[in-house]
Structure 1
């Protein structure tokens, strides 16, 4: 699992409650230790994938309440795989994607640990996407991916082409600056939003985190 991590990286294991399940999720203990200055200078890369974000917890809990049996799904920016694990537990066929090979390593490991099998995985650059012959999908889902303007614009261009007719997307977001832009662009493309709030209690923080869960459907 460390094959695609640069340098020495300590690992940690967190227990995350999702519905009636408690998942054991392995992740880098200090995400900032993975910052590569050369990669950041060349491509603005930061190791967002290495954290278990509150939005990922909220998304996993939301997915756990859905009947996903037989549904073809894709996660955009899978990170260490919590939401993918929840979707697999619910019976979905999942293609887990990320910009980092290390994220796919952790996702495969965490899926094997918690549900006994690995999802299909693929590297995916939202700016130049290639999902091969895997799509289209019944469900696209993602957690906390609207942190940059370029991400919001790229995803608004990508998601419509991933969905089969009648498909839907589920985005979890804690109120990032560029989330309104994503909603605006998707609305211009004919998609509607149903939004609900979820509250996540994060260890070490004084306040709970409010996450917006957007269910996105075509017109």
Structure 2
């Protein structure tokens, strides 16, 4: 495992075949909006590539970004049902294909898509433009090394606590990047680390709401999960 920042770039040669998926997100008081997503045809090709094996040996990397996960849909639906201040800057962490960020863009926010696979950032940017958005930028980011020069009032993160080792650095990212009183909205399909995550938030002084979610998709099993609204303390005492 690497001791410093880790960034990876999935080679273009395994990303040439893509497919388009339409996703409908219901917005509060409005008809559902359809988003067009471009994504790799198959994650299996990425899994079997030699660069993935090498990246896994270096940092246990896996190309999870190349699929649209239920948690991304849960998070997108959750933020679409809230009223937000427009033009606020948002950081999406581990953005993958960028669906929650697209919803934020549709709500009038400015989005920073971040991921530690540069190829994922390319797809997120492509999807943003495909849906008519321009008020975004991309940021290669290993969340274990939070940037001190970026402060935002809102962080979005979908299905990022799939391993216990992610919990501490993600909470540190919130503490570093969120402005006082800012929020992180994080979705999770109730993976085994749920209780550990909640206790770690409490230990670090974060208050949170755990909002149960149920995702139903035609012809697929219902997925149960949680969207966390995590509130950053207004004041932090250093030392």
**Structure 1 residue 27 corresponds to structure 2 residue 44:** no
Evaluate the alpha carbon distance shift between residue 41 and residue 6 of structure 1 in structure 2; reply closer, same or farther with a 3 A threshold: farther
Moved over 6 A (4+): none
Pairing 1:160-175 to 2, within 5 Å after superposition? 160-175=175-190
Pairing 1:61-210 to 2, within 5 Å after superposition? 61-66=77-82, 67-117=84-134, 119-130=136-147, 133=149, 135-205=150-220, 207-210=221-224
8 Å CA contact 1:63–1:87 kept in 2: the answer is yes
Moved more, 98-107 or 193-202: 193-202
> What is the Cα-based RMSD across aligned positions, in Å?
1.7
**Structure 1 residue 8 corresponds to structure 2 residue 14:** yes
Q: Distance in 2 between matches of 1:118 and 1:28?
A: 24
SS in 2 for 1:7: helix
With structure 2 as the length reference, what TM-score do the two structures score? 0.84
Q: Distance in 2 between matches of 1:75 and 1:179?
A: 21
Q: Distance in 2 between matches of 1:74 and 1:56?
A: 14
Alignment gaps of 5+ in structure 1: none
Aligned length: 214
Q: Distance in 1 between matches of 2:224 and 2:96?
A: 20
SS in 2 for 1:115: coil
Alignment gaps of 5+ in structure 2: 1-8, 27-31, 234-239
Equivalent position of 1:53 in the other structure: 69
SS in 1 for 2:191: coil
The Cα of 1:180 is off from its aligned counterpart by 2.4
